[in-house]
């Protein structure tokens, strides 16, 4: 390709200056533009507080008053960012199954109903991913922290066992597992998903 004999050094410098000026102008237009924040995925693994009625009835009765949230001593109950209803994220702060259940006492609309004791609570069901669980390597932190003694160690198989009849789904095992391990091996399937036949592990 033959260079244009009329296009000299002066023309080249002129074009370069124009190009730089255009780039600077584009930069100035976009540098102050609001940057889009990455959208965090919406979590669906939340639990309802103890004493919760079935999900459909709960949504009808709950007024989003936050009384149960304020009454929760450990701060386990928080407001769901999507609709303002009370939820618990077990891997963050689990339900401690308080003896007098102040969250239930604070609910005036019967979205949370009184329970006789901790064993009557049905928030969900714990499931173990044995591929991630380190119980076979000597970890039994979740077993010692389970408030209803629903977890035990099968020393013959060197694996963790969940007694379904005793598990109330408080999430303490999930919170403890996250604290002591790199991967969460014990997760609670929310009660609303159990009724639909979906158990995560």
Percent of the chain, pLDDT > 90? 68
In a domain, 47, yes or no: no
3-state DSSP helix/strand/coil percent for the chain, to nearest 5?
Answer: 30, 15, 55
Alpha-carbon distance of 172 to 96, in angstroms, equals: 7
- State how beta strands 151-154 and 186-190 pair: unpaired
In a domain, 21, yes or no: no
Domain count, the chain: 1
We report the CATH number of the domain holding residue 90 as 3.30.70.20
Alpha-carbon distance of 111 to 65, in angstroms, equals: 11
Helix (H) or strand (E) holding 124: strand 124-128
Alpha-carbon distance of 77 to 49, in angstroms, equals: 7
Q: What is the pLDDT of residue 152?
A: 95
Residue 89 belongs to domain spanning: 55-194
In a domain, 32, yes or no: no
In a domain, 44, yes or no: no
Q: What is the pLDDT of residue 25?
A: 72
In a domain, 71, yes or no: yes
Residue 14 tokens read as 């002129």
Q: Which of 153, 152, 94 is nearest to 121 (CA)?
A: 94
Residue 6 confidence class, pLDDT cut points 50, 70, 90:
low
Residue 137 predicted with pLDDT over 50: yes
Give 36-69 pLDDT, tens digit per residue.
666 657 889 999 999 999 999 999 999 999 999 9
Q: Which class for 47: exposed (0-12), middle (13-18), buried (19 or more C-beta within 10 A)?
A: buried
Average confidence (pLDDT) over 161-186: 95
Q: Which class for 68: exposed (0-12), middle (13-18), buried (19 or more C-beta within 10 A)?
A: buried
Q: What is the pLDDT of residue 182?
A: 87
Average confidence (pLDDT) over 137-155: 94
Residue 9 confidence class, pLDDT cut points 50, 70, 90:
low
Average confidence (pLDDT) over 9-24: 62
Q: What is the pLDDT of residue 41?
A: 72
Residue 14 confidence class, pLDDT cut points 50, 70, 90:
low
Alpha-carbon distance of 74 to 87, in angstroms, equals: 13
Give 116-136 pLDDT, tens digit per residue.
999 999 999 999 999 999 998
Alpha-carbon distance of 68 to 111, in angstroms, equals: 10
In a domain, 11, yes or no: no
Residue 149 predicted with pLDDT over 50: yes
In a domain, 31, yes or no: no
Give 160-169 pLDDT, tens digit per residue.
999 999 999 9
CA gyration radius, the chain: 28
Residue tagged 């963050």 (tokens): 92
Contacts of 97 (CB under 8 A, 6+ apart): 50, 118, 121, 147, 148, 168, 170
Average confidence (pLDDT) over 87-113: 97
Q: Picking from 25-29, 141-145, 149-153, 175-179, which range would have the lowest pLDDT averaged per residue?
A: 25-29
In a domain, 105, yes or no: yes
- Return the DSSP state at 113: -
């Amino acid at each position: 390709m033959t260079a244009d004999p009329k296009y000299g050094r002066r023309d080249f410098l002129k074009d370069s200056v124009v190009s730089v000026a255009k780039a600077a102008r584009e930069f100035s237009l976009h540098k102050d533009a609001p940057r889009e924040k990455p959208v965090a995925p919406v979590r669906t693994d939340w639990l309802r507080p103890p004493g919760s009625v079935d999900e459909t009835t709960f949504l009808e009765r709950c007024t989003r008053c936050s009384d149960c949230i304020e009454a929760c001593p450990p701060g386990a109950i928080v407001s769901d960012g999507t609709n303002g209803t009370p939820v618990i994220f077990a891997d963050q702060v689990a339900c401690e199954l308080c003896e007098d259940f102040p969250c239930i006492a604070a609910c005036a609309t019967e979205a949370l109903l009184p329970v006789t004791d901790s064993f009557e609570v049905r928030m969900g069901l714990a499931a173990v991913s044995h591929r991630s669980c380190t119980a076979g390597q000597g970890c039994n932190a979740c077993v010692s922290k389970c408030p209803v003694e629903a977890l035990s160690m099968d020393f013959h198989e060197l694996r963790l066992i969940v007694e379904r009849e005793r598990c109330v789904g408080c999430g303490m095992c999930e919170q403890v597992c996250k604290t002591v391990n790199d991967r969460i091996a014990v997760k609670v399937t929310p009660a609303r998903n159990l009724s639909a036949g979906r158990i995560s592990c």
